Chain A
Amino acid sequence: MFSTIQPSAQKPQTKPASSRIVRRSPWPRLALFAFMIVVALIQLFPLIWLVDYSLLKSGDFFGKNFLVWPDPPQWANYKNAFTYGRVPLFFFNSLLVTVITVAASAVLALMMGYAFTRMKWKLSGFFLGFVMLGMIIPIHATLLPNFILFHKLDMLNNLFTLILPYTAIVIPISMFIMTGFLETIPRAIEESAVMDGAGIFGVIFKIIFPITKPAIATICVLNFISTWNEFIMANTFLTSEDIKTIPFSIMKFAGEYSSNYGAQFAVMTIIALPTILIYLLFTEQMTKGITAGAVKG
């Protein structure tokens, strides 16, 4: 870019527009950064407030200031959060459900994505469209009939029941990402494998799986975050205290501990942390998944 601009900059009389680019003052750039930083702070302010207040005594909540320097930080809030909110148990329950859901949806997306993009069968287009309809259907509309269904099958109040709807609702988006990715892979690799006598499952799990790792990573990150955060179904299908998922830690503060604000804010921080960490670790995969879903949709 500069090679084309510099020569003309030496004779500004003829091309004033180009010279302006070269002699640009630093101020617009600084103003831009200042503005972006301010907006970023406003966007993050509720979260900063959350972490700050999670370290305060409940009595300090009613002071006049927005942010209070925790002096000393009330780490006891976190200890209380763990015990009153039953964080370790609920955390484990969430992890169990989420990991199984994420793994199952990745495998299903790979299998179905392969069959839809590579294999030749008559109803391929029909079924692909059928599954994609799932992206339009409001998931909360299935809440009530699923409740009745699980009730009839005596599957309510079972942690593993949750895995079924959780996996089903992420199938459309997972497959969408997977088919989009598979279409970019040349077929020559599989052809040589088939020549060497590999079966279809050998091709998928030994050859296609390693190639689709970026797409699988994207699917896993997206599904991890949505499953970890899911709340309404867990709230509807589970009743026993021992099998609840992590969002319910905060609900434990509804009754007798409802005035323990510090511990409540600590629980919220604990619930929010895993997804933020996963997001920060896999920002690119997440970004790709969201934009891929949008660009092709």
Chain B
Amino acid sequence: MHKVLSDKKAIFLLIAPGLILFVFMICIPIFMSAYYGSTDWSGIGQYQYVGLSNYKEILFEDPVFWNSLWNALLLTAATLVIQHPIAILLAIFLTHCGKYEKIFRTIFFIPAVISIVVTAKLWSGIFHPNYGLLNKFLEGIGLGVLKHDWLGDPNTAIWCIIVVVMWQGFGYALLLYYSGLQGIPKDLGEAARIDGATHTQLYSRIMIPLLAPMMRVAIIIAVTTCLKQMETVFLMTNGGPANSTQFLGNYIYKVAFSSSLYGYGNAISVLFIVFCLILTVVLNKALKKDVGEF
């Protein structure tokens, strides 16, 4: 048995195809980015090595880069402050729905499986100044004065994006918290109830504190997905108006393919990856206060 399991040739044959593909599509591109990021390449023709000047320019002179990070922060904050509490509340309600629990769980998750192309276009329709649902709704309840070109106004566009991302990702958050609640042993709740705990006490003192490990996971997932947000923005506003809804992924795309600044775009890519790695490590460390075993 041991001989079969330490057969070097077999190990190589099992690992190599996947690993080579992974290295070629993920790792080599990162090194290429690091290389082109230190040049002034414009996509075609000659280019020169410019050292770290791209990085300096991005970090110290590029307001759009920082605005992209700020938007990611805003999106994260909105997700954590609005989406997650609602998800926790509904997850608790779900556990009381008995045999209908699965139906509700399925319904809440449906938006998450739909192509972002569809959801982005759909919500663009909802925010549409002429036939959009939102303006119709405002008019219907007598607030016609608030009618608006929601995606065309830099002040409201970012909030539209936030609403769409929260709507689509709601099922994920709900599912995480729901499975976290399922993982808490039933007898804990029953014991508390026999001791006379009310519903509010049961949840505020026992269930929600026991959800902490799942919250840690959900927070890390939320932060990284918000930072990586691109498709919704790309399709709804393409970062506009006036870069007010810009996110890093979309900014790279715009810089490279619209402005032909391939060197600069690659430098942003490198910083983007570094940011994600640092953030994940820091978050994992910062939130590592695990609750003990049940």
Contact = CB atoms under 8 A, between A and B. Distances in A.
A290 B117 contact: no
B79 interface: no
Contacts of B195: 17
A145 B43 CA distance: 11
Contacts of A27: none
A271 interface: yes
B265 interface: yes
B150 interface: no
Interface stretch (B51-59, B153-161, B226-234): B226-234
A286 B6 CA distance: 34
Contacts of B121: 250, 264, 268
A64 B139 contact: yes
Contacts of A265: 125
B285 interface: no
A133 to B, nearest CB: 8
B116 interface: yes
Interface residues of B, number: 100
A213 B240 CA distance: 46
Interface string B14-46: 110111011011101110110010000000000
Given A108-B17, A140-B249, A32 B26 contact: no
Contact of A164 (B25, B110, B193): B25
A38 B162 CA distance: 22
Given A145-B29, A276-B110, A120 B175 contact: no
Given A33-B97, A247-B117, A272-B118, A141 B273 contact: yes
A250 B108 contact: no
B51 to A, nearest CB: 19
Interface string B231-254: 100110000000000001110110
B188 interface: no
A297 B221 CA distance: 10
* Interface SS of chain B: helix
Contact of B21 (A62, A171, A272): A171
Contacts of B33: 141-142, 144-145
Given A144-B269, A291-B179, A35 B276 contact: no
A294 B269 contact: no
A114 B11 CA distance: 9
A49 interface: yes
Nearest to A283: B106
A131 interface: yes
A236 B21 CA distance: 20
B104 A112 contact: no
A121 B6 contact: yes
A291 B175 contact: yes
Contact of A191 (B1, B136, B140, B234): B1
Interface in B255-294: 256-257, 262, 265-266, 269-270, 272-273, 276-277, 280
B126 interface: yes
7 nearest interchain CB pairs?
A: A140-B249, A168-B25, A145-B29, A108-B18, A247-B117, A145-B32, A115-B14
23 contacts: A36-B93, A43-B111, A66-B140, A120-B2, A120-B5, A134-B22, A140-B250, A140-B252, A140-B272, A141-B252, A143-B269, A145-B266, A168-B22, A171-B18, A171-B21, A175-B18, A229-B116, A231-B231, A247-B118, A268-B117, A272-B118, A287-B175, A294-B217
Interface of B: 1-2, 4-8, 10-11, 14-15, 17-19, 21-22, 24-26, 28-30, 32-33, 36, 90, 93-94, 96-97, 100, 102, 104-111, 113-119, 121-123, 125-126, 130-131, 133, 136-137, 139-140, 167, 170, 172, 175-176, 179, 183, 190, 193-196, 214, 217-218, 220-221, 224, 227-228, 230-231, 234-235, 248-250, 252-253, 256-257, 262, 265-266, 269-270, 272-273, 276-277, 280
